[in-house]
Amino acid sequence: MLDIQLIRDNKELIKKACLDKQLDPKVVDELLATDLARREKQKQVDELRQQANKQAEVIKTSVNLGQKPTPEQLETGKLIKLKLKEVEPELTKIEEEYKRLMFFIPNPPAEDVPVGKDEAGNVVIQKIGEPKKFDFPAKSHQELMENMGWLDTKRAVKIAGFRAYFLQNEGLLLEQALLRYALRLLVEEGFTPMAVPVMVNPEAMWGTGFLPWGKEDHYQTQDGQYLTGTAEVSLTSYHMGEILNQKDLPIKLCGISPCFRREIGAHGKDTQGIIRVHQFNKIEQVVLTVADEKETRNWHEKIRNLSEKLLQNLGLPYQILLMCTGDMGAGQRKKYDLETWFPAQQKYRETHSASYFNDFQARRLNIRYRASDGTLKYVYTLNNTMAATPRLLAACVENWQTQDGQIQIPEFIRSLM
């Protein structure tokens, strides 16, 4: 959510943000028209309340003087109250529409974000590590893991449907070791580790910007709650409605959780293996910091670098993408993706994503802090994938394979299995 004054003063900028993010700019005009009607109706209600208070004071004064209020005085007070009963519900209705429309306004991208319609507009800014070249035909992670008894998708599909899987034996142990190692790196960097709720109220989904956009991508329970696709939802919402102190910022949180995504629109994509699944495990980073975009951008680089450290330690080649406007979320101000090399596919695939939002999420969640000068400000938020399996697991398996179909696991990971 943006500051309404920012929208009023920068109408064309916000409309351009809608266009650049492949959203309908009409919502900006609808919001500003509703905002004007809201202010006019609020003025009318305020004037009527003042008149009502003034008239009540006149009647009270008459009573205190031992005089009966005149019929005219009583009638005037009655008419004012009737008018208030008429216009107050109108104000409530307009305010509800205003709030609804505010949630549909996207965050303008940062100036250095490339404008593009879709993933074709993303920019590769750096490649790290040489893609693995084997002197034998590289096998896919699915073939390798099935041959070793690490993976069973056939039985999983019978039980849980398409994109389901069983991890077994060393496959499960390796996945857990990767998650444990990633968590250890974050704890060493001062992040507070947390196990988080994965079933959350709608307020948390709206607050983090996963609603109203992409509602069809999320599973919902019969009680109206949502299964989260990332621990970002719970971690960012952790201080919802609170006032923090500047001395306690930045707040650095990391969460480990199962994640759920419906993968709507992914029909026919990545049908083999465990690259695109409905349920997976992930460690997510979230940072709450001061209302300073320069400081936020510094943190954006820091959290991305932590994911890079993980990939480098695992010996996985990867590339850094600066995401274009059409391939980033409505709430994101700037976004990086890390894509890891998959030898069997001979291509890079997304394994990590780092974003910052400024106060977009904080306004929706009402997370503020008391600055050193005593003023109240909204915190700025960031998040980043530290490790998401089984995709990261699949990347490791393909890059660590040997000619005899085995997996050469680094000793520091083996020790965690």
The CA–CA distances, whole Å, from 214 to 43, 79, 104, 277, 347 equal: 37, 48, 12, 17, 27
Annotated active-site residue 261? The verdict is: yes
Give the CA diameter of the chain: 107
Q: How far apart are CA 124 and CA 131, in angstroms?
A: 15
Q: Could you give phi then psi for residue 288, rounded to 5 degrees?
A: -110, 125
Three-state DSSP at 74 gives helix
Distance CA 340, CA 129 (A): 10
Catalytic: which of 180, 262, 276, 370? 276
Say whether 39 is catalytic: no
CB 289 within 8 A of CB 295: yes
Q: Is the dihedral of CA 99, 105, 106, 111 positive or negative?
A: negative
Residue in 333, 349, 363, 391 annotated catalytic = 391
Q: How far apart are CA 168 and CA 86, in angstroms?
A: 66
C-alpha–C-alpha distance, residues 109 and 355, integer Å: 11
49 is catalytic: no
Rounded Cα–Cα distance for residues 344 and 51 (Å): 77
Q: Which two tokens stand for residue 13?
A: 């900028």
- Extract long-range pairs of 165-173: CB within 8 Å, 24+ residues apart: 165/274, 165/277, 165/390, 167/390, 167/393, 170/417, 171/145, 171/393, 173/417
**Given 353, 355, 364, 368, which residue is catalytic?**
353
Q: What one-character DSSP code corresponds to residue 3? A: -
Q: Residue 253 is which amino acid?
A: L
Spell out the residues 6+ positions from residue 152 whose beta carbon is closer than 8 angstroms to its own: 146, 165, 166, 168
Please identify which of the residues 140, 143, 234, 261 carries the catalytic annotation.
261
193 bridge partner residues: 254
257 is catalytic: no
What is d(CA 385, CA 354) in angstroms, rounded to the nearest whole number? 6
Q: Which two tokens stand for residue 318?
A: 């990867």
Tokens of 224: 């109206």
Structure token pair of residue 252: 């650095």
What CA–CA distance (Å, rounded) separates 178 from 182?
6
276 is catalytic: yes
Catalytic annotation, residues: 261, 276, 350, 353, 391
